[in-house]
Amino acid sequence: DVKVTQSSRYLVKRTGEKVFLECVQDMDHENMFWYRQDPGLGLRLIYFSYDVKMKEKGDIPEGYSVSREKKERFSLILESASTNQTSMYLCASSLFDSGGLAGGFGGNEQFFGPGTRLTVL
Amino acid sequence: TQLLEQSPQFLSIQEGENLTVYCNSSSVFSSLQWYRQEPGEGPVLLVTVVTGGEVKKLKRLTFQFGDARKDSSLHITAAQPGDTGLYLCAGARAYKYIFGTGTRLKVLA
């Protein structure tokens, strides 16, 4: 049974704290993604990685950084948490699409974790 | 900039009714996926459509990709309470997926 796991289901932090969200997948997928989900806005891509130590900015990278030291693990870091980062954070993984970086990205199935609901007070 | 608009945003219907959810964009996508998300869980893929005009059926769910690959629809026949959830479309473009705003469906028994 394929799985994407996230380190916490619920997290409460204070403004200014450094926050680490961890994601682990057991499917040997090359691609990993971090999204945030807010009502009425759908899922918005924060960062994505297509290989170890590689990262690409998504649509809303400001205030976030990521780390991918091992293929199965992708971490999202909030350097100094702010109240507007209160949200549901979803991690996903997928197989690499060879057309992706050169165009013709067909889009393989993304497998999602259960999400981390982060509240910043 | 939200590239994929879904309508309606909310839908509450009785068991046995039919419904259609729309996913519209002014941009072309190389493929389009539909996901369903239940409370406390991540989205789960229902279908991927790749070719313009393509129609795929999954039991009572029918998915269509627009001819120009800019829009898609999801039609559910004889909805059941188990269909309740958040439906998300996602277009594949460049190296990433653009998600729609979501349609929250509630089917009442």
Q: What residues have CB less than 8 Å from A15, skipping those under 6 apart?
A: A81, A82, A83, A120, A121
Q: Given the structure tokens 């769910």, which residue do they identify?
A: B61
From the list B30, B42, B101, the residue facing A104 with the nearest CB is: B30
Structure confidence at residue A102 (pLDDT): 46
Structure confidence at residue A96 (pLDDT): 78
Give yes or no for B28 touching A (CB within 8 A). Answer: no
Residue contact A43–B45, C-beta within 8 A: no
Give yes or no for B104 touching A (CB within 8 A). Answer: no
Residue contact A42–B99, C-beta within 8 A: yes
Angstrom distance (rounded) from CA B109 to CA B104: 16
Q: Which residues are bridge partners to A12 per DSSP? A: A119
Structure confidence at residue A98 (pLDDT): 65
B25-70 pLDDT per residue, tens: 998 888 899 999 998 899 999 999 988 999 999 999 999 999 999 9
What residues of chain A lie within 8 A of the CB of B48, using their CB? 107, 109
Local confidence pLDDT in tens for the 121 residues of chain A: 669 999 999 999 999 999 999 999 999 999 899 999 998 888 999 999 988 999 999 999 999 999 999 999 999 999 999 999 999 999 999 887 765 554 545 578 899 999 999 999 9
**Pick the residue with more confidence: A106 or B89?**
B89
Mean pLDDT over each residue of chain B, to the nearest integer: 93
- Give the chain A residue whose CA is nearest to the CA of B86: A42
Examine the pLDDT at B97 and tell me if it is beyond 90.
no
Q: How much of chain B, in percent, has pLDDT values that exceed 90?
A: 80
For residues A90 and A43, the answer to whether their CB atoms sit within 8 Å is yes
Angstrom distance (rounded) from CA A87 to CA A82: 11
For residues B98 and B70, the answer to whether their CB atoms sit within 8 Å is no
Q: How much of chain B, in percent, has pLDDT values that exceed 70?
A: 98
From the list B33, B43, B102, the residue facing A107 with the nearest CB is: B33
Residue contact B4–A42, C-beta within 8 A: yes
